[in-house]
Amino acid sequence: MQRASAITTPILAMMISLTMSSCMGTATVKMPLGPVYNGPVSADALTGRIAFSGVPGLRAGINARLWQGNRSVGAFKGALVMRPPDDMRVVLYNTFGTTVMDIVRAEGRLEAYLPSKDALYLGDAPSMMPPAGARMVLESRDGAHYLYAMQGGSAVREYAFDKRSAMNTRARVITRGGPFMEAEFGEYPFLHSPAHASYIPGTVVLRYGRGFRLEFSIEEPETGEVPPRLIPLGRDAANIFDISALDAAE
């Protein structure tokens, strides 16, 4: 293993806040810092520069903050695990090291588990990577590059790139009737690490649904193969809910 230096709803967020006591850690997204890009500007070239592209697997500590709308739910230490293309697990801890929340996004599904309530919240969460067979279309405007993944004549993913460095600053799932999903990326601090770590952003903001936001900074990432057991789906819980139902019950 080489060292290189995902989602809740309003009710769920309120439940998290009840489990906390003066948690620590924060994350602030900035524009990515990187050298001037002098390579080809094409759909193929920028597809290869999407955040986390080429990473064989990732384990890292994080400093995270949860938001619901403009309200900060709390700050946490945590852990991040990722497997390609973008299966992800985020575990958040309180100051005593107790798990407050365990989030898994894999195989198009989202599971958010609150141990204090033995409650599991389920929802849809499509991959943010380009779907297999999608046609990639590039546009440049307003000082940035925009890459679109097209299926059936419609854009299903959108990626924004900083024009100076050609680093990926945003990824968005374009759905019709599905949950809103977007990620912002900033501060690529691992550019001088092994090549496969170059596209690990230092900061990430994940937005899901109606106002939920998870911000985190990535600390000392370690890259290498991650076994599937570290990103489990199908957890058992005494109480199982649908995330969209919780939104409706707000």
Alpha-carbon distance 220 to 173, whole Å? 28
Where does residue 168 fall: left (phi above 0), alpha (psi -120 to 50 degrees), or beta otherwise? beta
Tokens of 188: 């690529």
What is the percentage of the chain residues whose pLDDT exceeds 90? 52
- Amino acid identity of 22? S
Least confident of 121-125, 143-147, 207-211: 207-211
Distance of CA 102 to the CA centre of its chain: 14
Read off the pLDDT band of 72 (50, 70, 90): confident
DSSP state at residue 227? -
Averaged over 20-27, what is the pLDDT?
A: 40
Lowest mean pLDDT among 17-26, 49-58, 111-120: 17-26
């890292």: which residue's tokens? 60
CB burial of residue 138 (10 Å; 0-12, 13-18, 19+): middle
The yes-or-no verdict on residue 138 having pLDDT over 80 is: yes
**Residues of the chain above pLDDT 70, percent:** 80
Dist. CA 211–CA 59, nearest whole Å? 27
What's the mean pLDDT in 121-148? 93
The CATH number for 2-248, chosen from 2.40.50.100, 3.40.366.10, 3.90.180.10, 2.50.20.10, is: 2.50.20.10
This prediction's pTM: 0.82
Confidence of residue 12 (pLDDT cuts 50, 70, 90): very low
- Over range 54-77, report the average pLDDT: 88
Assign 180 a pLDDT band (cuts: 50, 70, 90).
Answer: confident
Q: How many CB atoms lie within 10 A of CB 45?
A: 15
Q: Which two tokens stand for residue 93?
A: 């801890």
DSSP per residue, 70-130: TEEEEEEEEEEEEETTTEEEEEEE-TTS-EEEEEEEETTEEEEEEGGGTEEEEEE---SSP
- 14-23, 89-98, 203-212: range with lowest mean pLDDT: 14-23
* pLDDT for residue 195: 59
Instruction: Assign 77 a pLDDT band (cuts: 50, 70, 90).
Output: very high
The DSSP output letter for 158 is: E
Average pLDDT score over residue span 116-127: 89
